[in-house]
Amino acid sequence: MACSALRTGYRHLGAARSVVQGKRDMWKLLGKARYCTASNGDEVDRAKQATVESSRFRNKKPTIFSKIIDGTLPADILYEDSKCLAFRDVNPQAPVHFLVIPRFLLPRISQATSEHVQLLGHLLLVARNVAEQQGLTDGYRVVINDGVHGSQSVYHLHVHVLGGRQMSWPPG
């Protein structure tokens, strides 16, 4: 299921395809490195564990996303600039499922202050632009998980964008 969704995603890559081509083999190696959205139970368990770890390290522990930012971990990158990058979720929950993350480490949306206004606006605009680039003309869902009840599993702020199918409401 996840694999066919991933292949569908690749078909939508279009212009980004050549950039991504070289990363594909390494990307396949990541198949088991699920970080954002596994089955529901997994996600909740890992979210709780992530919270324990983040409080132990005062939310400054490098995450899997830090490694994607510094290039030590490959990702299927769709867009990047000086402030953020967008890449496909390794375990997609929709035909199109990508994340937008700031390069700057802000662990949680609940820790944002007025000094992050521009950054937060930028993340949403990039989410919108990449959604358009991915052909999500019938709409999409934008999600930010925060903390335990939000099932946040990586303590580096990230915006989920999901599309290509009908979303239900309310979310679980």
Residues in contact with Zn ion by CB under 5 A are 36
Task: Give the residue from 107, 104, 116, 114 showing the smallest Cα distance to 150.
Answer: 107
- 7 φ/ψ sector (left φ>0, alpha ψ -120 to 50, else beta): alpha
Reply yes or no on whether 158 is catalytic.
Answer: yes
Catalytic one of 97, 156, 158, 160: 158
- Closest separation between CB of residue 163 and Zn ion, Å? 16
Residue 103 phi/psi, 5° resolution? Answer: -70, -35
**C-alpha span between 96 and 85 (Å, rounded):** 16
Q: How far is the CB of 18 from Zn ion (least distance, A)?
A: 28
We find the least distance from the C-beta atom of residue 48 to Zn ion, in angstroms, to be: 14
Tell how strand 77-80 and strand 96-102 pair up.
unpaired
State which residue, 11 or 149, has the beta carbon closest to Zn ion. Answer: 149
Closest to Zn ion by CB, 80 vs 146, is: 146
Whichever of 36 and 100 has its CB closer to Zn ion, that residue is 36
Catalytic residues: 158
